Structure 1
Amino acid sequence: MIYGIGTDVCDIRRITAALERQGERFAAKVLGDAELAIWRTRSARWPKRGMRYLATRFSAKEAFSKAVGMGMRMPMTWRSCEILNEKSGKPVIVLHGELKAWFEAQGLTAHVTVTDETDYAASFVVVERQNPPASS
């Protein structure tokens, strides 16, 4: 059963401006540890590809927060939600800490897709309820 759907379109120029103003602090605020390592590698080799990576992750986290219906408030935080890739390239949502515990207690699973084109990054997330929430 569908629990929630979220979508987000992000202007990559806005992310570029934030990064120029705040430096790596912006990326460290938005990205989890695994994402940050990938971003650093991509940015060092291909700066535009690194920027697109950051923008798609920003967008996907916004879409996820909408799909679960809580926005960016606890237990949802930028760093507790990572958008990583399986070996096949398929993007997956990896949760940590309180967010992971809450998500699992609700019996939820999530599906994510991300894309980028020139000036925009977009994401779509579907969250499903697999099991009824745990009793209180």
Structure 2
Amino acid sequence: MIHGVGIDLVEIKRIKEWYDKRPTMVNKILTDNELEIFNKINLDNRKVEFISGRFAVKEAFTKAMGTGIGKKYGFHSINCLPDENGKPEIACDGFHVHTSITHTEKYAEAIVIIEKDNNKQE
């Protein structure tokens, strides 16, 4: 059963300006596991795309959960890591989370569909 659907669109230019002014802002958005991936990226543009995508997917996740960032879920409580094929995944106890992130030159967009796990109690 679908619990919720969330979508978020981020202007990459806005994230780049934020990152250029305060590079440590990544520590507010990315978890330690995500930072490991981020730190292995060599191209600055790709780094900004990564931050933008993770920002968007976390916003989309909280929209799908119906909470918004900062209430029940914060940026550090949502860990979005690639599976063995590179597909972004978010693990959340009691739910099955479907995620997708896409980028263009100007935007990063994410969609999240959350299903209740019928085998677990909330």
TM bracket, shorter-chain basis: over 0.9
After TM superposition, what 4+ stretches of structure 1 lie above 3 angstroms from structure 2? none
Offset of residue 89 of structure 1 = 1.2
Cα distance in 1 for partners of 2:83, 2:68 equals 26
TM-score normalised per structure 2 = 0.92
The partner residue of 1:109 within 96, 104, 115 is 96
Cα distance in 1 for partners of 2:79, 2:45 equals 20
TM-score normalised per structure 1 = 0.83
- Let me know the Cα RMSD of the aligned residues: 1.4
Where structure 2 has 5 or more consecutive residues not aligned to the other structure, the ranges are: none
Offset of residue 28 of structure 1 = 0.4
1:85 alignment partner in structure 2: 82
1:64 alignment partner in structure 2: 61
- Superimposed CA distance per residue, residues 60-90 of structure 1 (whole angstroms, 9 cap, x where no aligned partner): 0000010000001233010111111011111
- Superimposed CA distance per residue, residues 81-110 of structure 1 (whole angstroms, 9 cap, x where no aligned partner): 11110111111014xxxxxxxx52xx3221
**Bigger proportion of residues as helix:** 1
Which has the higher Rg, Structure 1 or Structure 2?
Answer: 1
**SS of alignment partner, residue 70 of structure 1:** coil
Where structure 1 has 5 or more consecutive residues not aligned to the other structure, the ranges are: 95-102
2:15 alignment partner in structure 1: 15
Cα distance in 2 for partners of 1:76, 1:68 equals 9
